[in-house]
Every structure is written in C-alpha cells, then in structure tokens.
Chains A and B, each alone.
Chain A
Amino acid sequence: MNVAQIFTSFKEALGSAYLEDRTIERKVGTVDPGTVYDLWITVEREALHDAVAHLCAEYNPHISVISGDDIGDAVALNYHFTVGWGERYGEATFTIRTVLPKSDLVIPTITDVLPGAQTSEREKIEFYGIDVVGIPDDRNLFLPEGATIHPWRRDLEEETAKEVKRMVKWETRDE
C-alpha cells in the first residue's frame, strides 16, 4: 500500500483545507508478521464533503461509522472508512477527522456520494445536535420520536438527565 501517494492525492485535491495526516503501522501475526495501516487525516469542515467525494471517486471506500467526540467547546467528528477490501492485507482504515465548534454545529451530508452513511449521520444529528445539511431523512433514529435531547453533549448533561427522568416517569406512569 502506497500511503504517501494516498496522502499526496488528498493534499492536491483539498489544498489548504488539508490540515494534517498520520500513519500508524502495525505488525500483525506471530509466525510471519505482516503490516497493516491505520491512516488518519484532518481536514477543515468546508473540505469534508470534497474529501469524501475524492475518496469515493478514487478508492471505493466502505464507511464503518462516524464517531463523535465532545472535546469541550467543539465536537470532533471522525469519519471511519476502510479502503481496499477484497484481498488479503489489502485493506487499511482511513479516518477523516474534522472539528466543529459548538457555536456552529453544521456539516454537509455525505449521503449523496455514499448512501450507506445515513444511519450514522442520523445518529450524529440526534446525539450531538449537529445540523447535517442535505440529509434525506433527519428524524430521530435511536432516540424516541420527538425527543430533543442530545445525550452525548457533555455541556448538556443536566438537561439530558432532567428530560430522561421526565420520559422515564411518563413511560412508567399508571394508566
């Protein structure tokens, strides 16, 4: 796997919005060790859609999940892709990281280039209160219909606890 080449192609496609990259090489196997790679890049929010579109155009990715991480005054989103499936040692994880300030939690959808990302994007909408622009279906997926809490936001823990208590009380009320 030519890691440097992948990074270079992203650098060319994204320009100054490409912030940093990181490669982790790991040895696996006990008898005849092989090498697997975890690739991480960080991009500006504005370039996220371009980055995913570039990835889809060039590398036939599979999206595993989008993980979120509340880091104080911002939410970091990690788009965990895998590229190169289909042959032994052919695959590497490829994570695109972008950081959204809590004052402006808006991100474009990537479902137009990779429809399989919808489940994960809907989860981010409800759990972090992120506005995913252009997603075909933005209803709550895992949370109850109509619930407006964002349980993974550390700054909203009190409100969440209050709302959950109210909902639990409502659910177990006597008819």
Chain B
Amino acid sequence: MNNQSINLDVGQCAATTYTVPVGPVHPALKEPIRFSFNLDGERIVGVDIKPGFAHRGIEHMGMKRNLVQALYLSERICGICSISHPLAFTQAVENAAGIEVPPRAQYIRTIIGELERVHSHLLWAGVGAHELGFDTLLHLTWNVREKSMDLLEELTGNRVDYAIPIYSGVRRDIPERKAHLAYEALEYYKGLLQDMIDAFLHDKSVEMRTRNVGVLTYEQAVELCAVGPTARASGVKKDVRQDMPYLAYADMNVKAITPEDYGTETIGDVYDMIIVRLLEVAQSIEIIEFCLENLPSGELMSIPKVPALLATLKKASGEGLGRHEAPRGEVIHYVRLEEGVEEPAAWKVKAPTYSNLMAWVPMFLGDEIADVPIIAASIDPCMCCMDRVHLADASGIASERTKEELVKLSREKTRRICG
C-alpha cells in the first residue's frame, strides 16, 4: 500500500498507522469534503479536514448585484437552509437601513422558518439512519418528511427556495383558505412524533451505534464555539431564538432544548443529537401552531413597491448584523451599505457548519472508522453553506430550450397552486 506510513515512537514499541481518505466523493458524504484519517487498526488517531470543494463565490457575486438580486442569491447558498440565509440577510439589511417589518410578515417568516426546521431535521434523521446502515428508517423518515415539503409547496409555491422574505416584509401571504392545510400537517406530525421517538431512541441497534460515539463535551463545545443542535446536545443552552429573540420568537417563550428535556443525562454523543433534533421537531410544531393561531392581520410589506424599496436601500448607509437560528445552528450575516450604491459594500455569510467544523475533530478522535459516517453526519453538515467563495465561471448550462421549458412549467405549477 503506497500511502502507508510508519510512525516510530521513541522509546516505545513501533506503532503502525495508515491513512484512509474519506472524500471528497464518498458514499458517506452527501456533499464534498475531504477527511484524511490516521488509523491505528480501526481506531482514529488523527484527522485532517479539508473543505472548499463546493465554492461558488456567492458573497463575491452578491457584492456585484443590487440588494434585491443578492437576496435571491442568498436563497441559493443552500437548498436545505433556503429560508435561513434570506431570513438572516433581510434582517441584516433591515437593521442597517432601519426598515420596519409589519407584524404579519414577521409571523409568516417565522412559520416558514420553522417548517424548514421540521423538514431539515427529518432529512437529517433519515440520513443518519442511512449512515448507520438502517435504510428502513431512512425510507420511512423521508416518507414522513414529504408532508412538510408538500405543505411548503402549498404555502409558497416551491419545495425549496421559497422566495418568501423580502426587505420590509414577505412576498406572499398565508391566506385563510390555506391555513387548514397547515393545521392538517401539524396534526399529522403530532400523531407521528411518538412513533419517531420510538423508532430512533428505543431501537437497540441505533443505540448501539450512537451511544458514546462522537462525544463532544460541554467544555469543548463552548471552547470551539459550536452552534445549534451540535452544541445543545452537549448541554450548551444556546439558541438564538431564546438568547436574542427576533421576529415572532419575541412573542413566545422559546427554550433551548438539551437532552435534559428528554430526561436523560447529557453525554454529548450522537444519540443526544438525535434526542435534541427530534424534540426540536416537536418544538417547531408548537411554534407553528402558535404563529397560526396568533397570526396578526395587516399589511405584508412596509414598502410594497420594489422600485421604492430599491431607492430606499440605495439611500441607506450603515452596517447591520442579521441572525437566525437555522436548523443546523446560528446563521449570521454581516452587511455594510453605502449611500448611492445599490450593491452591498460588504457581505459576510456565516453558516452553522462553519462554526461546527472545529467541533468535528474531538468528535472523531478515539472513535472507529465505522463511526465516521454517523459522526460526519451528526453535525448535519452543509458544505454548500460553508463553502461560498471561489471565483469560477459557471459552465455546462443546459440547452436554452430545455431551460425555458422548465421555467414555464414551474411557473404554471406555481400559478396553479397559489391561484
């Protein structure tokens, strides 16, 4: 084997380690990233992580477009967090420009954001099951997830990239005639939640593979600045919705969920991450229900006309931070606006995986190669969120006709659904 290396411990017996690469393309990884594991037998004694294979230069591109165009770009940072980035970005711009958001718009943003959490956590649970070699659970979980995707499609017209938030409000209302669909979906999930908990947390083989695997201690989580369920599974009660409320979260009492809420001791392993995510699905359902019941009436946008909005934004100057608790953790956008310029003068996107990157190292060390997939999946990594900044020309666009047809078809479907 050509990449075998022999390390000699001075004064000790010879220890043989060898390197096993995982990625950039590997069945355990849903997106490209490269891990190089130093193995002693099956045990991991060293790991090197190299991200950056999904760079698209989004921030750079955003700084060359006007703010409304940049908003749509922010939605395309990631397919799964396709509401989290726009939510953080709009808040950052609104904070910088001092734009008010009407109450109804705040609630609608919250509802879509929480629906995304439901589908994202279920997606993760399925992926996690697949990494454990438990495909049955994968298929059943993703079957359940479809309900939230259907609901998102009904409410927004799209299964991903919902195009809901815009500076000063939201682009689409949740009308009374659609609300019953949401309630229906919520009832569906309430009925299934206990089954999901049984399937994941009371299954012996899942427990065997996840208990005491990929442990991140409380101290490590704080020191390495982990975010989201990764940190909360280690007992760090950190959740933007609780710590620094925004949107409709300020009207309710959101609590950061840790394994204690399930009644078990906090270990910080993968099992705890499953607990946290499943309980957060339940929490999201409560939040959506609260928002639907207390949905304020009123306008959707404080500046409804896009030209007026662009003019306001062009006049604005200042800097702002926008934060949102995405399914994977804290998303933060920094924006600086300059007067007389339509583009953002500076734009920095921080996705949750960016913060959790460092937390991977202590989770991997000391575990087995067999644990790699589930540990890699445990932080719910999102490479496309994290890797945003590479200057490459896009090529290989599909033929014009096909593209136009697709656009036409999708527009027709949106009209059909949203009437």
Name A29's contact: one of B251, B254, B256 (CB within 8 Å).
Answer: B251
Does B391 contact A30, Cβ atoms closer than 8 Å?
no
- Pairwise interchain contact A168-B392, C-beta atoms closer than 8 A: yes
Partner of B330, one of A38, A64, A151, A168: A64
Stretch of B132-140, B176-184, B351-359 at the chain-chain interface = B351-359
With A65-B332, A151-B389 as known contacts, state yes or no: A142 contacts B244, CB within 8 Å. Answer: no
- 0/1 string, B289-324, CB within 8 A of A gives 1: 000000010000000000000000000000011010
CB distance from B248 to the nearest CB of A (A): 7
Name the residue on A nearest B221 (C-beta).
Answer: A116
Q: How far is the CA of A141 from the CA of B316 in the complex (A)?
A: 35
Q: Is the CB of A151 within 8 A of B60?
A: yes
Q: How far is the CA of A88 from the CA of B237 in the complex (A)?
A: 10
Residues of chain B lying within 8 A (CB to CB) of residue A36? 244-246
CA distance A65 to B355 in the complex (A): 8
Return the contact of B225 from the options A63, A68, A145, A151 (Cβ within 8 A). Answer: A63
Verify if A101 is at the interface (C-beta below 8 Å from B). no
Q: Are A90 and B251 in contact (CB under 8 A)?
A: no
Binary CB contact string for chain A from 64 to 86 against chain B (1 if under 8 A, 0 otherwise): 11011110000000101010111
Q: Is the CB of A62 within 8 A of B238?
A: yes
Q: Are A24 and B95 in contact (CB under 8 A)?
A: yes
Please tell me which one of the listed residues B243, B321, B354 contacts residue A95 in the complex, with CB atoms under 8 A apart.
Answer: B321
* Set of chain B residues within 8 Å of A152, measured between Cβ atoms: 59-60, 389
Contact indicator B334/A80 (Cβ below 8 Å): yes
Q: Within 8 Å of chain A (Cβ to Cβ): is B32?
A: no
Output the least CB separation between A92 and chain B (Å).
7
Complex CA gap A36/B357 in Å reads 28
B283 near A: Cβ within 8 Å?
A: no
Residues of B within 8 Å of A31, CB to CB, are: 251
- Taken together as a complex, chains A and B put the C-alpha atoms of A32 and B238 apart, in Å, by 23
A116 to chain B, nearest CB (A): 3
CB B294 to nearest CB in A, in angstroms, measures 8
The verdict on A78 contacting B334 (CB below 8 Å), with A31-B251, A142-B387, A164-B392 known, is yes
Contacts of B350 in A (CB 8 A): 64-65, 80, 120
* B243 and A90 form a contact (CB under 8 A): yes
Q: What is the CA–CA distance of A161 and B253 in the complex, to the nearest angstrom?
A: 49
Q: Bound complex: CA of A161 vs CA of B64, how far in Å?
A: 15
Q: How far is the CB of B231 from chain A (nearest CB, A)?
A: 9
16 contacts between A and B (CB under 8 A): A28-B250, A31-B251, A34-B250, A38-B321, A80-B334, A85-B237, A85-B238, A86-B243, A95-B321, A114-B223, A118-B358, A119-B358, A141-B52, A142-B389, A142-B390, A164-B392
What 8 pairs between A and B have smallest CB-CB spacing? A116-B225, A29-B250, A91-B243, A67-B348, A65-B350, A142-B52, A30-B103, A69-B346
